[in-house]
Amino acid sequence: MRYVDEFRDPELITKASEEIYRLADTGRHYRIMEVCGGHTHAIYRFGLKDVLPANIELIHGPGCPVCVLPMGRIDDGLAVAKNADVIFAAFGDMMRVPGTHGSPFEHKARGTDVRIVYSPADALQLARKNPDRHVMFFAIGFETTAPSTALTLMRAKMEGIRNFSIFCNHVTIVPAIRAILDSPDMRLDAFIGPGHVSTVIGCRPYEWIARNEGKPVVTSGFEPLDLLQSIVMLLRQLKAGEARVENQYKRVVPWEGNRAALKAMAEVFQLRPYFEWRGLGFISQSALKIRDEYAEWDAEQRFPIPGTRVTDPKAAQCGEVLKGVLKPAQCKLFGNECTPEHPIGALMVSSEGSCAAYYNYEHRKAALVTSISSVA
Amino acid sequence: MAHGAGGKASRRLVEGLFAPLLFANATAPLGDAARISTDGSSIAITTDSFVVKPLKFPGGSIGELAVNGTLNDLAVSGARGQAMVVTFVLEEGLPTPVLEAEVRAMAAALRRAGVVMVGGDTKVVERGKADGMYITTTGIGRPMPQVRIDAQSVQPGDKVLLSGPIGDHGITILLARGELDLEADLSSDTRCVLPLVEAMVEEAAPGIRWMRDPTRGGVATSLNELARDCGLSIVLSEEEIPMRNEVRGACELLGLDPLHIANEGQFLAVVAPEYADAALNALHKTDGCEDAVVIGEVRAEPACAVLVTTRYGGSRIVDMLVGDPLPRIC
Amino acid sequence: MCLAIPGKIIELVPNQAHLGTVEVAGVRRKVDLGLLVDDMPVPGDWVLIHVGFAMTKISERDAAEQMHLLQMLGETEQAIEEVRGYGLDDSGSFRSMSSGTS
């Protein structure tokens, strides 16, 4: 696979790892946060921690849209769908996320029409193909995904497709990063910046992190060589006492972002005054809602929404893990009451949530003492 | 639904509910097929249900799966399938040509395998149930005397063999459902693996410790079951695992792990190291098994886990599937 | 929010201005090109696909430059160490042997 395989070259990975060992100051403990859930997933999937020195600690950030979605929003979306005619369409990521009365899949087993879609465009296509049914797309995601939802809405309006609506849960990444940095327990040295969000918003939105907080940021790709190269770039900055925003993912991320995508978002969405983030509480100007010009396609304006609010059990320490203050294994519920099969908190539900990633890829590896060498 | 997907939930259902109530007399851990003794002869017996949607897909159909699947369970338990019985649960309104096509497909598969269908039953249920049709086949077979399948005999140092590329069946079905609007030149790998197993048995019987056909839940689930049954660790080498380009592409696009995807024409074998080469050579000489390869080995640690390693020294744990594999966007 | 894969545009869909067929390792899907209106891709271009939409064009030049940088990793360091081994300091002048490192 082109533009993928080259960035998984084992020899170059070893070389990059050696460079990191060379650059890392043995007397120093580095705390680097990768904001994006996709990066968390990649780190575990490729076993990158095995090629990093012990004094580089990777802290998993809150960039997982499923993880930060309050349970009440799932309850609300499913409540709307229970109305017999509404098809609840969502990404596969959502299907096993528990609501108060079960996950979308569990609702499906009880008769709600729940469908997995790969794209909001597919949800719109469902509406075209089922003119006598209403299709509600339960939209999640940061700025990577919001433009696609926006374009889909614009197309729905242009074609006059009325049996379609969006239940919008899009959130924005910068307020989440701000919440991390504002947290008193936090001590971070640098950031591996979001990769695909940056294809839309560009690199400028992170400049305040370098300028005001004095932390280097490198926007990174998702292949092993991308992440390792980003760590090299961060270490070089830290060594030189610099704090800048750099773009490692140049082949795909434009510094200024994607104007057409930003335009589509501005056309369809506006910022909510505030929005509740699971684990982080209420954050102002951090989420998108559909503009009045598209009210007809806004599920929150077309259907009565219960406005459910659910508090997580006190024992679940999702907030602290989300902010990187605690490691997944340090939460008292981890691995006992809370596992991927019966998740209590959101971080165990999404496969890229720190707890699920750690559980699925790592927690039993601790028993392995000797280094793993190639088998065949 | 998760209870049928082949992974953790399925296992809990079987072990937690069925086994204590129904299988209390079983003398061995639950495998692909059971052995019963009658009048001094040993017979292998197994049963399987097939509920695939769509009924017909590139490379095969439900009828073929129903025959091959059961014969494969017998083969990897070390038995040659001899006879089968079948039950059909048909949805009211199922067009006769569809049913006829499946029966023909089954007859062809039976002929190819030299196995006879000796009986069966049919029921019809109302419209809206049974997704068209469900088929259950029960097969009996004669154990191959030289083969002794036993998870407890697996030891550190044993090699893990895989007969061919993974993921063809599961991805073909996913694409055939049409919900994801993806196209690829892929077909199900459904086939009877008995000739392949026989070839391997011929050259390496004393070294064969364990076999399984990695159907629902994929290679990861089968190997996790083994790891738990023998209390050891299975360590795989990622670059050795064979996979078609299209399977890889679909998995990357949808965020799926190929190790969790169902296969209907492959098998895994754990073989003592001194017999691994002979086993592999025998497979390579057999039609349709040119891609057989050693994908890993058994180690002592970490106990009861399956690990995948990369050439550059990275590793990750691969767990059993929980529910069906779901496409993701994150 | 993060799963995006590089794919090649095989053809533009006739009569549907904003759709293209993209191929990833032999798997094909129609992808919406509406976010790339400012610089529409043509068949043969590589794009990054996320939830059925093309997010950006992939720059072959930047990818090649990145590979080059990765291949060079550590080589500058090695060159410097080699130079030091000759008894030259970083400016290229000879140090006195007694204070030189080997």
The CATH code of the domain that includes B55 is: 3.30.1330.10
Q: Based on the domain organization, do B79 and B214 belong to the same domain? A: no
Which of C1, C13, C27, C62 to substitute to test the interface with A, most A CBs within 10 Å?
C1
Domain annotation covers residue C21: yes
Domain annotation covers residue C74: no
Residue C74, SS3?
A: coil
Residue C24 sits in a domain whose CATH number is 2.30.30.140
Q: Print the domain residue range for C20.
A: 5-58
Cβ-contact A300, A239 below 8 angstroms: no
Domain annotation covers residue C20: yes
What is the mean predicted confidence (pLDDT) over A246-251? Answer: 98
pLDDT at residue B25 greater than cutoff 70: no
Last residue of a domain, one of B143, B174, B198: B143
Q: Which of A1, A2, A260 sits opposite C38 (nearest CB)?
A: A260
Q: Based on the domain organization, do B173 and B261 belong to the same domain? A: yes
Identify the residue whose tokens are 């953790």. Answer: B8
Domain annotation covers residue C68: no
| Two structure tokens written together for A289 | 């809602």
pLDDT at residue A52 greater than cutoff 90: yes
Q: Based on the domain organization, do B133 and B166 belong to the same domain? A: no
Which pairing describes strands B233-237 and B306-309: parallel, antiparallel, or unpaired? parallel
For C26, nearest residue in chain B (alpha carbons):
B246
Q: CB-based contact (8 Å) between B248 and chain C?
A: yes
Residue B162 sits in a domain whose CATH number is 3.90.650.10
Tell me which residue of B29, A353, A175 sits closest to C2, measured CA to CA.
A353
Give the model confidence (pLDDT) of B272-290 as tens digits: 999 999 999 999 999 999 9
In angstroms, the separation between the Cα of residue C66 and the nearest Cα of chain B is 20
Domain annotation covers residue C37: yes
In angstroms, the separation between the Cα of residue B192 and the nearest Cα of chain A is 28
Last residue of a domain, one of B143, B167, B197: B143
For A119, nearest residue in chain B (alpha carbons):
B180
Which pairing describes strands B79-91 and C53-57: parallel, antiparallel, or unpaired? unpaired
Domain annotation covers residue B294: yes
**How many domains does chain C fold into?**
1
Q: CB-based contact (8 Å) between A252 and chain C?
A: yes
Q: CB-based contact (8 Å) between B228 and chain C?
A: no
Chain B adjacent subunits, 3+ CB pairs under 8 A: A, C
pLDDT band at C99 (very low <50, low <70, confident <90, very high): very low
Give the model confidence (pLDDT) of C33-59 as tens digits: 999 999 999 999 999 999 999 999 999
Query: Inter-chain contact B253–C30, Cβ cutoff 8 Å?
Result: no
Identify the CATH class of A5-65+173-247. Answer: alpha beta
Q: Which helix (H) or strand (E) holds A43?
A: helix A37-45
Report which residue type is found at B329.
Answer: I
Asked whether the whole model's pTM tops 0.90, one would answer yes
In angstroms, the separation between the Cα of residue B221 and the nearest Cα of chain A is 13
Q: Based on the domain organization, do B202 and B83 belong to the same domain? A: no
pLDDT at A342: 84
Q: Based on the domain organization, do B182 and B307 belong to the same domain? A: yes
Highest average pLDDT, of A68-72, A260-264, A353-357, comes from A260-264
Q: Print the domain residue range for B69.
A: 40-143
What residues in B contact A351, CB-CB < 8 Å? 255, 328, 330
Q: Based on the domain organization, do B132 and B267 belong to the same domain? A: no
In the β-sheet with B159-162, what is the strand arrangement from edge to edge? B208-212, B268-271, B159-162, B293-299, B233-237, B306-309, B315-317
Query: Inter-chain contact B182–C27, Cβ cutoff 8 Å?
Result: yes
* C-alpha neighbours within 13 Å on the C-beta side of residue A95: 23
Domain annotation covers residue C53: yes
Report domain extents, chain A.
Answer: 5-65+173-247, 71-162+282-302, 318-362
Q: Based on the domain organization, do B108 and B199 belong to the same domain? A: no
Q: Based on the domain organization, do B125 and B102 belong to the same domain? A: yes
| Two structure tokens written together for A44 | 């575990």
CATH node for A71-162+282-302: 3.40.50.11740
Residues 252 through 311 of chain B touching chain C, CB cutoff 8 Å = 252-253, 255
Give the model confidence (pLDDT) of B100-118 as tens digits: 999 999 999 999 999 999 9
Q: Which of A92, A105, A368 sits opposite B302 (nearest CB)?
A: A368
Q: Based on the domain organization, do B116 and B203 belong to the same domain? A: no
What is the ipTM for the molecules in this complex? 0.93
pLDDT at residue A363 greater than cutoff 80: no
Domain annotation covers residue C88: no
More confident: B297 or A184? B297
pLDDT at C1: 59
**How many domains does chain B fold into?**
2
Do A5-65+173-247 and A71-162+282-302 show the same overall fold?
yes
Q: Which helix (H) or strand (E) holds B57?
A: strand B56-57
Domain annotation covers residue C64: no
Residue B315 buriedness (CB in 10 A; 0-12 / 13-18 / 19+): buried
Query: Inter-chain contact C48–A252, Cβ cutoff 8 Å?
Result: yes
Please tell me the distance from the alpha carbon of residue C45 to that of residue B191, in angstroms, as a whole number: 39
pLDDT at A326: 87
Please tell me the distance from the alpha carbon of residue B291 to that of residue C76, in angstroms, as a whole number: 43
How far from B185 is each of B175, B247, B250, C27, CA to CA, in Å? 10, 10, 11, 8
pLDDT at A322: 82
pLDDT band at A347 (very low <50, low <70, confident <90, very high): confident
Query: Inter-chain contact C3–B185, Cβ cutoff 8 Å?
Result: no
